[in-house]
Structure 1
C-alpha cells in the first residue's frame, strides 16, 4: 500500500509519492521548462497540461472555479485547513482508490499555496497512455466493462461529483479508468441515493453528447450495474 509524506514550508504544502517525485513547487508551474507542458484540449477549464514530471508522463491540473463566482474569483478558495484543500482532498481519495485496486490514475503530488485568507491549488496525476474519453467510442465499449469499474468505485466507498463521459477513459488495452475526483466524497458505504445520483449524471452526459445512441447504451450499462449489485 502506497503511503505519502507531506512537506509544508511557510505558505505552501505538498503531498507527494516519495518513490516517484521530488517535491518542489516548480512541478506545479506549467511554465517550468523541464515539464514540457502541453495543454489538454478536452474537458476541464483550460487549466490542465500533459507534462513530464521526474521521468513520469503525467497530467498537471490547476483548480479553477466554475459558475458565476468565477467571474470574480477564478482560482482562489477559502482556507479551511490543509486537509480540506481541494488538492489534498482529491489526492487522498485517489490514493485510497488506487490502494483499493480501483482503476484510477496514480496520484503523484498535490499542493496548496496560501493567499491571504485563501489558497490556490494544483494536482499532478499519472497519465494513462493512449487513453481517450469514452464519449465517442461507446458503440465499441461493452457497457458491462464500465459498470464494473463504476461499481468498484462505489464499493470502495467513493461518490464521484461529476461522473460523465469525459471522466471515464478507455486505454489501448480496453481498460476503463475513472478520473477527476475533485469534490468527490468518501463514505463508509455509498448508499443507493448517491449511487443513483452518479448513474443519472452519467445518463445526462451520454444523452447530451451522443443523443439516442447514448440513451440506449446507458440502459445496457444500468442493467449491468444493477445485475452486479445483486451478485
Structure 2
C-alpha cells in the first residue's frame, strides 16, 4: 500500500513529518498543524474538543488532532502505537478522502496530514479545507432533505468506502443545502458488503434518535423511504 496518494509528498519540519499535495509544498510549514496558533478557534459542535478553525496560506481550514475515546483513552488520548507509515491514521484518512473526491463524493479537500514520533508511539493531525457556512445535520434536521442525504451516503458506499462513525454530526449541510461527509478516521476502502452498509445505517439512526428523539426517528423514517432495499438499511 502506498502511504501517500499520487501527487503528495512528505516533508520534515523538525520533529514533524508533514504530507501535503505537491501544489502546496512551497507554502507548507510547521505552523500548519499547530493548534496554538493565534487565530485558531475551537470547533464547538461534535468531535472530542480536538478540532479548530484556522486560517493561513492554505486558506480557511479545519485542523483536527486525533484523540482516542472510551477506554482506549487510558493509553493516552493522543498517542498511537507506530505500525509503519502506511498505518498512520491521518495519512489513511487522506487516502480515503482523495479516493472519494475522485469518485465525485462531496467531502472536504485534504490540505495536509502529519505526525510526530516518540519511541514506539506517534501523534497525528490532519488539515482540511473548511466548508463555508456548514452546519451538522444534528442541528438542522428541519432544513435537511432526507433524499439528498440518502443519495450522498449511497454514493459513498458505491465508491467502496465504509464510514467508521456515521452519525448526525459527521454529515454537514452548507448554505446551498449541499450535503457533505466528514471524519473518515478508521474508514475502510473496498467493496462495502450489505452487512457493513447496514451497520452504517443503524449507527446513523441511533445518532439521530439520540440528538433529536422522536423528531430524529421521524427524519430517519423519511430517509429510509429514499433507499433501495439493496442498500442494507433494513434487516
The TM-score, its normalising length taken from structure 1, stands at: 0.92
What secondary structure, in the 3-state scheme, does the structure 1 residue paired with 2:209 have?
Answer: helix
Quote the Cα distance in structure 1 between the aligned partners of 2:138 and 2:120. 39
Asked if structure 2 preserves the Cα contact closer than 8 Å seen for 1:148 and 1:228, the reply is no
Match of 1:3 in 2: 7
Number of equivalenced pairs: 227
Residues 24, 98 of structure 1: alpha-carbon distance in 2 compared, 3 angstrom cutoff: same
Given candidates 174, 193, 210, the residue that maps to 1:208 is 210
CA deviations 1:141-195 (Å, max 9, x no partner) are 11100001001111111000000110000000100000000111101x1111111
1:120 equivalenced with 2:123 (yes/no)? yes
The 8 Å contact of residues 194 and 230 in structure 2, kept in 1 or not, is answered as: no
Alpha-carbon RMSD = 2.0
Structure 1 residue 228, shift from structure 2 partner: 8.5
Is there any run of 5+ residues in structure 2 with no aligned partner, and where? none
Match of 1:223 in 2: 225
How far apart are residue 6 of structure 1 and its match? 2.5
Question: Per-residue deviation at 1:83?
Answer: 1.0
Where does residue 95 of structure 2 map in the other structure? 92
Tell me the equivalent position of 1:81: 84
Task: For 2:54 and 2:70, locate their aligned partners in 1 and report how far apart those are by CA, in whole Å.
Answer: 28
1:68-108 Cα offsets, whole Å, 9 max, x none, are 23134121100000110111001111111111110000000
Moved more, 7-16 or 189-198: 7-16
> Do structure 1's residue 184 and structure 2's residue 191 form an aligned pair?
no
Q: TM-score normalized by structure 2?
A: 0.90
Mean Cα displacement is larger for which, 7-16 or 89-98?
7-16
